[in-house]
Amino acid sequence: MANPRRTIPRTDVLLADPVLAPAVERLGRDRVKAVINRAQERARQGEIPPEAVLAAALEELAALPQGGPRRVLNATGVLLHTNLGRAPLSAAATAALTAAAGTTDVELDLATGRRGRRGRAALAALAAAVPAAEDVHVVNNNAAALVLAATALAAGREIVISRGELVEIGDGFRLPELLASTGARLREVGTTNRTSVADYSAALGPATGFVLKVHPSNYRVEGFAGTPDVAGLAPLCERAGVPLVADAGSGLLRPDPLLPAEPDAATWLKAGAGLVTASGDKLLGGPQCGLLLGRSGLVDRLRRHPLARALRVDKLTLAALEATLAGPRPPVHAALHARPADLLERARALAARLTAAGVPAEAVETDGVVGGGGAPGVRLAGAAVAVPEGLAEALRAGEPAVLGRVEHGRLLLDLRALAPADDEAVYGAVTAARER
């Protein structure tokens, strides 16, 4: 009697089967081969007949997610959720990424055929967005911008900073340790809750590299508290011939009436800051990068420092940044300025559909936040759909995943950070989660 194992189809034959071609294109040859090998082993063990190997492989392949990050619908009510990659890119930025994935003119002048300034189009768009800046530069994140400034302007010298601005952000990241790693020394002035111009003045001297003003973007000090703003420090720094570096952090380039207390780069530059740093993937709504804007002498000094090469951004970031600055307003702007009444109307419609489908749901008014270290204490009135708390795990496991927040025994699916077009996907995800 013939050994049935000999009828198990060979790996090369299966890989050549056109039925598996889409899986190879989606997942890669190696992953598909590994799945085939598992199906063949099941046939050898007698779990499935040899003729079922292809079908078993197809079944497993269909359940495999595509490589790379999974799509997550941000229903947390946190507009810039650091764990979810902060700002979602606009359609224009996404299209620019696709174009930049090939070979581009990132560092070539096509008119002359010679080498050109790297990312000149993105830099021009950034300069146009903040006319108060004499020059601009881009590095890979805001921390890198501060490292470059500290290294180029204050290595072996002192950075004067208020004790109330020695911040720590997520994952144990501390600004003092970052700055000290560059070889600069911190000269702390004032107290945790109060610092005056006189405190800064007393600390300035021949060893001063620059004065650093840091916006406490993820906390607030209230009560008997106060510290000079950029306009208050600029004349002092000007008289002393010391640069004033200001970390705006949240990436707001111009004033926003919805966030009156949030500093913006244009206002700080007009107030006398020599250099402003900010993040690209927060309120600007672009890719992760660090923005350096300010006086031409300072920016050029940073750009020419050897460390700038190690901190430079790639062509994908430059393409997405240019499209964000020069194109239509990004999703973050639309989400930030969504009207509470519109959000509540969407929540009621979605809750009604879910209830009709057998999922207990209710539209509730709620507050969202900016997140990402921006606008601490600002509450964004909005709306959410409350569903049973038990759906949270199944929603995180779905495709796409949906992440909400649990409050008072209910799962709130906040619509603040979701576009209206996402409501249908949320409906589908919730009804599918109910079946699991």
Percent of the chain with pLDDT over 70: 97
User: Three-class SS of residue 50?
Assistant: helix
Tell me the one-letter amino acid at 317.
Answer: T
The arrangement of secondary structure in 72-84+334-435, i.e. its CATH architecture, is Alpha-Beta Complex (3.90)
How high is the pLDDT of residue 357? 95
pLDDT band, residue 44 (cuts 50/70/90): very high
Contact between 151 and 307 under an 8 Å Cβ cutoff? The reply is yes
Residue 332 has phi, psi (to 5 degrees) of -60, -40
How high is the pLDDT of residue 238? 97
Q: Environment class of residue 408 by beta-carbon count within 10 Å: exposed (0-12), middle (13-18) or buried (19+)? A: exposed
Contact between 14 and 29 under an 8 Å Cβ cutoff? The reply is no
Mean of the per-residue pLDDT values for the chain? 93
Tell me the one-letter amino acid at 367.
Answer: D
- Which helix (H) or strand (E) element contains residue 104? none
How high is the pLDDT of residue 373? 75
More confident site: 391 or 217: 391
Pick the closest to residue 233 from 199, 267, 261, 190 (CA basis). Answer: 199
Residue 185 has phi, psi (to 5 degrees) of -105, 140
Q: How far is CA 11 from the centre of its chain?
A: 42
User: Three-class SS of residue 100?
Assistant: helix
Pick the closest to residue 183 from 312, 313, 309, 305 (CA basis). Answer: 305
Q: How many angstroms separate the CA atoms of 220 and 181, rounded?
A: 27
How high is the pLDDT of residue 217? 64
pLDDT, one tens digit per residue, over 241-275 is 999 999 997 889 999 999 998 999 999 999 999 99
pLDDT, one tens digit per residue, over 54-85 is 999 999 888 777 667 889 999 999 999 999 99
Give the residue extent of every domain in the chain: 9-62, 72-84+334-435, 91-328
Which residues, including other chains, have CB under 8 Å from residue 34's CB and lie 6 or more apart?
none
Residue 38 has phi, psi (to 5 degrees) of -65, -40
Q: How many angstroms separate the CA atoms of 41 and 206, rounded?
A: 75
CATH code that applies to domain 91-328: 3.40.640.10
At which residue do the structure tokens 């000999």 appear? Answer: 6
